Structure 1
Amino acid sequence: MGYDPNQPPYGTPNQPSYGVPNQPPYGVPPQTPPPYGIPNQPPYGGVPPYAQPPAQKRSLKWLWITLGIVVGIFVLACGGLAVLGGTLLGGPSSAADSYYKAIESQDYNTAYSYMKVDTFTVGGQTLQANATVFSQIGNALDKERGKVTKHSITSVNTDNDNSTVKVEVTRNGAPYTVTLELTKIGSDWKITKLDNV
């Protein structure tokens, strides 16, 4: 098989083409002129294309309710602690702490101001209570056992106007427990009984 120049070439124009003349071939869409007016607008009388509605704004109501509850609980807790702290720390606990701070600084006159006692019993002997006698007792204990260097309130039991406070006291590195009984006199808590200094 060879090339014969006398033969008409394959697919020559002499053969009739199928279909309608001057029509674009199959698969190519006809060209339409662009519409006049605003782009993306339906033609006059046409139906606009479907567009998804804007997303609905989510309500934050649940967040505000939850936040309000949390803040309310926090405020109530702080108020409860303030009342409890005012009762315990501002009451007998505060008086006992102030008493021992004065003892630590060897200010026995100030320490005595937190007391309301009639007598002291020392070595089986009963002495009339006053600031001078209390200072003598405190100084004698400091010389004999060492100065009070630290104290810590370990428990407070209050029943109306009476309270028992336990304090761990350290003298010369040795801790011991002191039990103080306090009574509310007017608006102040006073030590009315103690088993040690």
Structure 2
Amino acid sequence: MSYTHSHSIKKFLIIGLGNPGYLYKRTRHNLGFMILDQISNKYFFSFSKKKLGLISEFIYDDKLLFFLKPSTYINHSGIAVKYWMIKEKIILKNILIISDDIYLNFGDFRLKGKGGSGGHNGLKNIEKEIGTSHYARLRFGINKSHFDKKSYVLENWKNEEIDFIFSRLDIGIKIIFSFVKNGLQKTMNMFNRTIK
């Protein structure tokens, strides 16, 4: 049953950032894809190949959620975000971008309603394409030590990191669904102080 054409239902666009293809599947930069994959495993839905990405529709709390994994590569994520925002007429405050963050401590989450790109090319491109930095973003910390930034984000997770990452992804999922149900401000108050 498709709810896409119902005008009364509230729509949300949840975008996980990453690079498409097997080569990048286990890289640190694909954290956004990993969280969306974890949600799809947990709630038993699958992604379909559509224009500019893999997308899935899911009803939660009487709201229609579009989960998007852009196929544009991270540096052009904004093209996919803009396309699906316009196509599904989704307002800016109902958009959430999920990305990795090399400046946040490893495993920490941070939810914000606006901000700079922090050197993240995906966020930079989204800001350019949609014309504002006032969009909600959920960042997951991958910072561990001194490293060469570019090669680090494109390296695969180490096996011992993977277990820890998966133990943290459930918190990320809780934050995403709270954003949909309770809104940005309330979710920030609930999670930003407690998630360390």
TM-score, normalised by the number of residues in structure 2? 0.25
Q: Which has the higher contact order (CA 8 A, sep 6+)?
A: 2
Give the greater-gyration-radius structure (CA). Answer: 1
TM-score, normalised by the number of residues in structure 1? 0.25
